[in-house]
Amino acid sequence: MSENNMKITLKVWRQRNNKAKGALETYKVDEVSSDMSFLEMFDVLNDKLIREGKDPIAFDHDCREGICGMCSMYINGQPHGPLQGVTTCQLHMRSFKDGDTIVVEPWRAKAFPVIKDLVVDRSAFDRIIAAGGFISVNTGNAQDANALPISKELADRAFAAAACIGCGACVAACKNSSAMLFVSAKVTQLSLLPQGEPERQSRVLDMAAQMDAEGFGSCTNTGACEAECPKGISVSNIAHMNREFFAAELNKK
Amino acid sequence: MMALTGLFLITFLIVHAGINAMIFFNDGGETFAHWAHFMGTNLIIRTMELVLVAGFVVHIVDALLITKHNKAARPVQYAYSNPNANSTWYSRSMGLLGTIILLFLIIHAAHFWIPNRYNQFTTGEELNLFTRMQDTFSHWYVVVIYVAGCFSLFWHLMQGFKTAFQTLGINHPKYNPLIKNVGIAFSVIISVLFASMPISMFFNLVH
Clarify whether residues A74 and A129 are in a common domain. no
Q: How many CB pairs under 8 A join A and B?
A: 104
Chain A residues with beta carbon closer than 8 angstroms to that of B72: 110, 215, 217
Burial of B110 (0-12, 13-18, 19+ CB in 10 A): exposed
Asked if A221 is an interface residue toward chain B (Cβ–Cβ < 8 A), one would say yes
Q: CA quadruple B128, B131, B135, B140: dihedral positive or negative?
A: positive
Give the pLDDT of residue A137: 87
Full residue range of the structural domain in which residue A88 is found: 6-115
Interface mutation vs chain A, best among B1, B74, B163, B179, most A CBs within 10 Å = B74
Average pLDDT for residues A94-100, to the nearest whole number?
95
pLDDT tier, A154 (very low <50, low <70, confident <90, very high otherwise): very high
User: Within a domain: residue A1?
Assistant: no
Helix axes B2-20, B176-202, angle to 10 degrees: 40
Buried residues in B39-60 as b, exposed as e (16+ CB within 10 A): bbeeeeeeebbeebeebbebbb
Average pLDDT for residues A16-23, to the nearest whole number?
94
User: Within a domain: residue A141?
Assistant: no
pLDDT exceeds 90 at position B96: yes
Whether A13 and B78 have beta carbons less than 8 Å apart is answered as no
Residue B155 CB contacts under 8 Å (≥ 6 apart), including other chains: B90, B93, B97, B187
pLDDT exceeds 90 at position A141: no
Clarify whether residues A41 and A86 are in a common domain. yes
Clarify whether residues A127 and A246 are in a common domain. yes
CB atoms within 10 A of CB B147: 15
Interchain CB distance below 8 Å, A221 and B91? yes
Euclidean distance between CA atoms A83 and A228, whole angstroms: 9
Q: Is A215 left (phi over 0), alpha (psi -120 to 50) or beta?
A: left
The residues pairing with A104 across neighbouring beta strands, listed in sequence order, are: A12, A75
Helix (H) or strand (E) holding B79: none
Of the candidates A43, A186, A182, A61, the one whose C-alpha atom is nearest the C-alpha of residue A118 is: A61
CATH number for position A192: 1.10.1060.10
Average pLDDT, chain A: 95
Asked if A173 is an interface residue toward chain B (Cβ–Cβ < 8 A), one would say yes
Average pLDDT for residues A235-240, to the nearest whole number?
97
Residue A239 CB contacts under 8 Å (≥ 6 apart), including other chains: B166, B167, B169, B170, B171
Closest by Cβ to B82, choosing from A76, A238, A240: A76
User: Within a domain: residue A190?
Assistant: yes
User: Within a domain: residue A92?
Assistant: yes
pLDDT tier, A147 (very low <50, low <70, confident <90, very high otherwise): confident
User: Within a domain: residue A152?
Assistant: yes
pLDDT digits (tens, 9 = 90+) for B29-41: 899 999 999 998 8
pLDDT tier, A128 (very low <50, low <70, confident <90, very high otherwise): very high
Give the pLDDT of residue A32: 95
Q: Nearest CA of chain B to the CA of A69: how many Å?
A: 20
Give the pLDDT of residue A4: 84
Burial of A162 (0-12, 13-18, 19+ CB in 10 A): middle
pLDDT tier, A70 (very low <50, low <70, confident <90, very high otherwise): very high
pLDDT tier, A1 (very low <50, low <70, confident <90, very high otherwise): low
| Range name among A76-85, A146-155, A183-192, B190-199 with the lowest pLDDT average | A146-155
pLDDT exceeds 90 at position A126: yes
Clarify whether residues A76 and A175 are in a common domain. no
Clarify whether residues A109 and A193 are in a common domain. no
What is the ipTM score, two decimals? 0.91
Residue of B nearest to A102 (CA): B80
Interchain CB distance below 8 Å, A109 and B159? no
Interchain CB distance below 8 Å, B87 and A227? yes
Residue of B nearest to A174 (CA): B83
Average pLDDT for residues B127-140, to the nearest whole number?
93
Average pLDDT for residues A222-236, to the nearest whole number?
97
Average pLDDT for residues A194-215, to the nearest whole number?
96
Euclidean distance between CA atoms A106 and A120, whole angstroms: 7
Average pLDDT for residues A223-243, to the nearest whole number?
97
User: Within a domain: residue A78?
Assistant: yes
Three-class SS of residue A31? strand
Clarify whether residues A170 and A246 are in a common domain. yes
Clarify whether residues A219 and A235 are in a common domain. yes
Interface mutation vs chain B, best among A220, A249, A250, most B CBs within 10 Å = A220
Clarify whether residues A93 and A129 are in a common domain. no
Clarify whether residues A178 and A97 are in a common domain. no
Domain count, chain A: 2
Q: Distance between alpha carbon A53 and the CA centroid of its chain, in Å?
A: 32
Clarify whether residues A184 and A85 are in a common domain. no
Clarify whether residues A98 and A163 are in a common domain. no
Interchain CB distance below 8 Å, A176 and B85? no
User: Within a domain: residue A142?
Assistant: no
Clarify whether residues A91 and A18 are in a common domain. yes
Euclidean distance between CA atoms A86 and A220, whole angstroms: 24
Average pLDDT for residues B119-123, to the nearest whole number?
91
CATH number for position A73: 3.10.20.30
